[in-house]
């Protein structure tokens, strides 16, 4: 059984550029996100380059990760950068009080992060400590990274092995300052933001864009206060939104879930549309010229911890359901490409909606990784309006459009179209009319599987992976047969 869906794409009405940073990632000192996931150390038996896992680095390079945010998250407001420089065996061992109360050896610090970003070809987004740090500590961190003078801090960086400054394109001032970053009121943080941001100074050609810690979910008051008080002092403003099928206290399992949980999860994921629209409307009020970008610098699924694992490590399985959360969310960001200029999925390796899972020497790519990889042609592309007439997929109290579509002209001039069918039982027969382009054929790849919670494991790492896909042509329309629960990306010839 298939539902009829009609789509009109306006190839002759180009919209905003899809910033490649919408495909950004987030890597926090949390569980095995950094240690074991990215960093194993030079003496490890796991093949590595200067301490970074070769398998993970190769997979991330293939993904063309544009930007990585580090060191947190909540960890950022407990992090003191001076503890993570100099000889590794001399660095203090701290307690990661926010995540599992485990030892934080500080072996992965400023040099290790910025070298890692260079190694995978990504830009660095460093999050500074407002909650338990000072403007001076923050300003000196920026100087240590960016100064090309003979200042004592620049010389210390050289002594520690880095002659030239690193590029520092993005710097975050605080994280979740309404919560783990200090439990502040927006009025208080707006002032504090301006104070801290004032002292971030760097050479003219290496001055980072400053990102203000922003709202949680639908806290529009936070956005109202921050933008009205501090818009002039920020380059970007952040938003955090996580998707879970249940409630915060009881989020639901990452595998073995029901169709209700499937529907609830996807329904919650598309709430991103409303959140981005409403926060953007407030930003439009105070920043009509769109000088301040909206960065959704934490998003993704968050489920209950897996039984038997440290609940503070936020390790969860990643299934076909997560792949659809990713494609639906990326489609939303494409539609808001005029305001949303960066997103950082939480998180890169072994934490929450990860791209990659590792277990000692083993590694597997997740279904979410495959969506990010299939969507690479959208990085830097020009979005095109797509009007979709789709029936609704409903299950119990949840409902959302059955088919989501994204269209864009890629950097090579090719038309790229992504389709997601969220219905796990029903296919969709899509007729796509493309105004302003001649359609000869379209081909690409599909990601689907038979089970709702289909996943890749260390023993079966390729259970869910993209397969070739062809669309047919009828008259001047493209015909795309979407199986139930599938994501398709095609390039139009």
Binding site for ligand AHR (CB under 6 A): 28, 72-74, 175-176, 298, 346-347, 352
Let me know: does 467 contact 416? Beta carbons within 8 Å: no
Closest CB to ligand AHR among residues 166, 242: 242
C-beta of 368: minimal distance to ligand AHR in Å? 15
Closest CA to 370 of 306, 295, 456: 456
Place of tokens 């969310």: 329
Task: Using DSSP, state whether 98 is helix, strand or coil.
Answer: coil
Let me know: does 296 contact 238? Beta carbons within 8 Å: yes
C-beta of 22: minimal distance to ligand AHR in Å? 18
Closest CB to ligand AHR among residues 293, 352: 352
Closest CB to ligand AHR among residues 296, 352: 352
Closest CB to ligand AHR among residues 28, 453: 28
Closest CB to ligand AHR among residues 127, 147: 127
C-beta of 145: minimal distance to ligand AHR in Å? 22
C-beta of 113: minimal distance to ligand AHR in Å? 16
Place of tokens 């699924």: 301
Q: Which two tokens stand for residue 334?
A: 């494409």
Residue of 140, 176, 273, 373 marked catalytic: 176
Tell me if residue 176 is catalytic.
yes
Let me know: does 325 contact 300? Beta carbons within 8 Å: yes
Give CA torsion, residues 236, 323, 116, 44, to 10 deg.
Answer: 150
Residue of 28, 112, 143, 298 marked catalytic: 298
Own/partner contacts of 133-140, CB < 8 Å, gap of 24 or more, are: 133/77, 133/80, 135/195, 135/196, 135/198, 135/199, 136/199, 137/80, 137/81, 137/82, 138/173, 138/196, 138/199, 138/200, 139/199, 139/200, 139/201
C-beta of 427: minimal distance to ligand AHR in Å? 35
Angle, in degrees to the nearest 10, between helices 271-286 and 259-269 = 10
C-beta of 33: minimal distance to ligand AHR in Å? 9
Residue nearest to ligand AHR (CB): 73
Tell me if residue 397 is catalytic.
no
Closest CB to ligand AHR among residues 74, 261: 74
Active site residues: 176, 298
């Amino acid at each position: 059984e298939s539902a009829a869906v009609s789509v009109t794409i306006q190839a002759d009405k180009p919209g905003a550029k899809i910033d490649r940073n919408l495909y950004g990632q987030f890597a926090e000192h949390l569980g095995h996100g950094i240690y074991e996931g990215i960093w194993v150390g030079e003496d490890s038996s796991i093949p590595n380059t200067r301490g970074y896992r070769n398998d993970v680095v190769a997979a991330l390079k293939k993904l063309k990760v544009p930007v990585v945010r580090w060191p947190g998250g909540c960890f950022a407001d407990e992090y003191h950068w001076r503890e993570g420089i100099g000889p590794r065996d001399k660095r203090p061992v701290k307690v990661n009080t926010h995540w599992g109360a485990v030892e934080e050896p500080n072996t992965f610090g400023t040099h290790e992060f910025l070298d890692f970003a260079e190694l995978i070809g990504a830009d660095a987004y460093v999050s500074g400590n407002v909650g338990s740090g000072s403007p001076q500590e923050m300003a000196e961190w920026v100087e240590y990274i960016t100064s090309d003078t003979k200042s004592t801090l620049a010389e210390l960086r050289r002594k520690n092995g880095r002659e030239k400054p690193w590029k520092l394109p993005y710097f975050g001032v605080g994280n979740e300052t309404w919560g783990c970053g200090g439990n502040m009121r927006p009025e208080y943080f707006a002032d504090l933001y301006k104070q801290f941001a004032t002292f971030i100074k760097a050479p003219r050609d290496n001055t980072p864009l400053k990102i203000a810690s922003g709202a949680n979910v639908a806290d529009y008051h936070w956005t109202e206060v921050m933008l009205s008080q501090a818009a002039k002092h920020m380059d970007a403003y952040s938003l955090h939104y996580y998707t879970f099928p249940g409630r915060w206290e009881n989020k639901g399992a990452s595998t073995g879930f029901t169709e209700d949980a499937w529907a609830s999860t996807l329904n919650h994921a598309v709430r991103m549309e409303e959140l981005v629209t409403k926060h953007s409307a407030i930003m439009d009020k105070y920043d009509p010229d769109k000088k301040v970008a909206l960065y959704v610098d934490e998003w993704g699924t968050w489920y209950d911890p897996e039984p038997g694992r440290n609940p503070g490590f936020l390790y969860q399985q990643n299934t076909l359901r997560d792949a659809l959360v990713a494609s639906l969310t990326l489609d939303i960001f494409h539609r808001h490409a005029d305001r949303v200029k960066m997103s950082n999925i939480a998180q890169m390796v072994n934490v929450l909606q990860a791209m990659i899972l590792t277990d000692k020497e083993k590694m597997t790519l997740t279904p979410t990784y495959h969506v990010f990889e299939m969507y690479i042609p959208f990085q830097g592309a020009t979005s095109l309006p797509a009007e979709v007439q789709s029936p609704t997929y409903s299950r119990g109290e949840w409902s959302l459009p059955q088919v989501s579509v994204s269209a864009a002209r890629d950097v090579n001039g090719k038309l790229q179209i992504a389709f997601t069918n969220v219905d796990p039982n029903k296919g969709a027969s899509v007729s796509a009319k493309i105004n302003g382009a001649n359609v000869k054929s379209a081909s690409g790849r599909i990601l689907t599987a038979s089970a709702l919670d289909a996943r890749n494991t260390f023993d079966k790492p390729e259970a869910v992976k993209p397969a070739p896909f062809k669309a047919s042509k009828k008259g001047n329309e493209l015909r795309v047969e979407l199986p139930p629960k599938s994501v398709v990306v095609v390039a139009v010839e």
